[in-house]
Amino acid sequence: MDLGRHLRYFLVVAREGHFGDAALELGIAQPALSQSVRRLEDELGVVLFDRSRRRVELTPAGRLLVDQARLVVGAEARLRETMRRVRDGELGALRAGVPPGTSAVELRGLLTGMAERAPDLDVDLGEMNGAELVRALGAGTADTGLVTAPFEGADLVGRLVRSAPVGAVVPRDSVWARAREVALADLAGRDLVVSARTAAPEWFERVLAVCRDHGWVPPRVREAGDADFLLGLVLAGRGVALETAATAAREPRLAWRPLAGAPLLRRTEAVYPAEGAHPAAAMFAEVAAEVFADGCEAGRLTAGAGEQPWSLVYGGEGAALILPGEAGAERPETV
């Protein structure tokens, strides 16, 4: 028996005092309404209406039921609304993994964007590299997150949220910093600094394959677990890193140059299970895409004319990120 529906019908009849008027308001046939009230009376074992007059009147049992019925109907409505919000990802908790080194601005954007869309959803961001996130999704200890593509996980759905060209990261006083672009083949003999294989195995192999295909087989591959270590190795002259401009911009004494032919793009995807995904997983992907779209030019903010605050710390000029097309950029001589 659909008690909630029968109680709603009962309350309308009680308010209107007439089955015909109540049926009209409810948009159902009067016989169906009368049958519903009869079923409710049979279920409760009492007569709810005196039908001996033209207008029906509540019996003592009916009058007592009115207040209780309102409570039940109200509770049912609240329950349905709560479950709808859970179903739509507006309530509950979302466990999301983000890569180490995600900037404060990006973290704020993710949390603020989710709060605007679902203010009552508890978004728990955790720092995870790609391999850790894929494992957590498989184990059910994470609901969604951001990874560098490609990644292992046939049972996962990936939605592109950012695509950025990968370039050469070199010391600012390097001959390569004066180049318009860097050909991978010209880096022959130099070591490569790259994100650790354990963090993103498929991306690691992709980088090495592209280097080989374009004539650079590094004598040594140095793996870095985070961006600061990677940039520190480059700054110390331990190799050339292949990274995005945004990553290079964190260290003002380094320069970023595009690769000739743009053979590498770093694609960041929001991933979640293909089956049984959290209702808010797609929402998180949408927010991430908006956050990264808003910040896609962030790396360019540190470049340009004029002294930057870095000069107060390091001395000298502050322009750290040398971008394509800047005046004075040259093709380096092969060394």
Q: How far apart are CA 116 and CA 100, in angstroms?
A: 24
Q: Name the CATH architecture for the domain at 92-159+270-294.
A: 3-Layer(aba) Sandwich (3.40)
Residue 15 pLDDT: 94
CATH architecture under which domain 162-267 falls: 3-Layer(aba) Sandwich (3.40)
Find all residues with CB under 8 Å of 297, minimum gap 6, and list them.
none
pLDDT digits (tens, 9 = 90+) for 278-309: 999 999 999 999 999 875 544 333 333 233 33
| pLDDT surpasses 60 at 331 | no
> Is residue 317 scored above 60 in pLDDT?
no
Looking at residue 310, its pLDDT comes to 30
CATH of 3-87, one of 2.60.40.10, 1.10.10.10, 2.40.110.10, 3.40.50.970: 1.10.10.10
Q: Do domains 92-159+270-294 and 162-267 have the same CATH topology?
A: yes
The pTM for the full model equals: 0.72
15-40 per-position pLDDT tens digit: 999 999 999 999 999 999 999 999 99
Q: Quick: pLDDT tens for 67-119.
A: 999 999 999 999 999 899 888 888 999 999 999 888 899 999 999 999 999 99
Where along the chain do its domains lie?
A: 3-87, 92-159+270-294, 162-267
Q: Name, in order, each residue with C-beta under 8 angstroms of 328's C-beta and a sequence gap of 6 or more.
A: 178
Query: Distance (Å, rounded) from C-alpha 82 to C-alpha 76?
Result: 10
What is the chain's Cα-based Rg?
Answer: 32
